[in-house]
């Protein structure tokens, strides 16, 4: 871990391997949700806060062109090394700097577990909407919690409960269950989680609904997923 990363637990710079493997082991329900909503074939997609590229690679199978951005260079290096694709362009950028003028518009804009890190969420959501082509879709998934901040002790206890359930119900192989527990209690990962500030489910519904009225909301584990389609312009 670099001194800078150690000084800022909010950074993902020291977490590519931990984050990526955790998402591989625990991200099945989210991947299923996304896959069910992707078109058979589309034009352009954007992944805002792409991390290690798991969802960018998923989008690459359905879209001709994928722009995947993240502020963390180590996360992007991991993505380029482990999930390269000829139609995915990984860029180190603040997602708030994407505009229709500089980047064009997209048939799908995706962001997962990212937007709670940003101030002025309403302005960010308006910007995300501006990136859509007529008839385009936006899928935004983020963590929610009625407590807004969650102590690291809760995450440790939850990891123990999940390990016990995995072993008792044979939900996954023993080696994977133990590995997931170890990842869930990684000190750097816990440092990051304990700094997060989340919307409550009610706040998520209100804030996102103001920008994306009538959106489909789906409850997930400690998260809400929003799916919305821009109206087609009149012919």
Q: What is the pLDDT of residues 56-90, one digit of tens each?
A: 999 999 999 999 999 999 999 999 999 999 999 99
Confidence of residue 8 (pLDDT cuts 50, 70, 90): confident
Q: What CATH number is given for 26-148+196-229 in this structure?
A: 3.40.50.150
As a whole-number percent, the residues of the chain with pLDDT over 70 amount to 95
Q: What is the largest CA-CA distance in the chain?
A: 58
DSSP assignment of 91-151 equals EE--GGG--HHHH--EEEEEEES-GGGSSSHHHHHHHHHHTEEEEEEEEEEEEB-TTSS--
- Average pLDDT value for the chain: 94
Residue 213 predicted with pLDDT over 50: yes
Confidence of residue 4 (pLDDT cuts 50, 70, 90): very low
Domain boundaries, the chain: 26-148+196-229
Q: Residue 13 carries which DSSP code?
A: T
What confidence score (pLDDT) does residue 5 get? Answer: 42
- Averaged over 214-234, what is the pLDDT? 91
Residue 149 predicted with pLDDT over 70: yes
What confidence score (pLDDT) does residue 234 get? Answer: 55
Structure confidence by residue, pLDDT tens digits, 110-141: 999 999 999 999 999 999 999 999 999 999 99
In 3D space, the residue among 134, 122, 135, 127 whose CA is nearest the CA of residue 210 turns out to be 122
Q: Residue 86 carries which DSSP code?
A: T
- Averaged over 214-233, what is the pLDDT? 93
Mean pLDDT check: name the lowest of 1-5, 161-165, 193-197, 229-233. Answer: 1-5
């Amino acid at each position: 871990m670099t001194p800078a990363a150690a000084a800022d637990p909010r950074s993902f710079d020291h977490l590519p391997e931990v984050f990526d493997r955790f998402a591989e082991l625990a991200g099945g329900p989210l991947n299923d949700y996304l896959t069910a909503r992707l078109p058979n074939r589309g034009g352009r997609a954007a992944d805002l806060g792409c991390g290690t590229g798991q969802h960018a690679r998923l989008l690459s199978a359905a879209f001709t062109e994928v722009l995947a951005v993240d502020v963390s260079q180590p996360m992007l290096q991991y993505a380029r090394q482990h999930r390269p694709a000829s139609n995915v362009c990984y860029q180190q950028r603040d997602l708030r700097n994407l505009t229709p003028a500089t980047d064009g518009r997209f048939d799908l804009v995706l962001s997962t577990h990212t937007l709670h890190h940003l101030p002025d969420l309403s302005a960010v959501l308006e910007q995300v909407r501006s990136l859509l082509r007529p008839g385009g879709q936006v899928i935004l998934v983020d963590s929610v919690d009625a407590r807004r901040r969650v102590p690291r002790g809760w995450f440790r206890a939850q990891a123990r409960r999940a390990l016990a359930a995995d072993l008792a119900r044979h939900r996954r192989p023993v080696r994977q269950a133990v590995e997931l527990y170890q990842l869930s209690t990684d000190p750097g990962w816990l440092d990051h989680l304990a700094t997060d500030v989340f919307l409550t489910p009610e706040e998520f519904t209100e804030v996102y609904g103001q920008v994306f009225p009538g959106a489909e909301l789906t409850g997930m584990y400690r998260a809400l997923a929003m799916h919305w389609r821009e109206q087609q312009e009149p012919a």
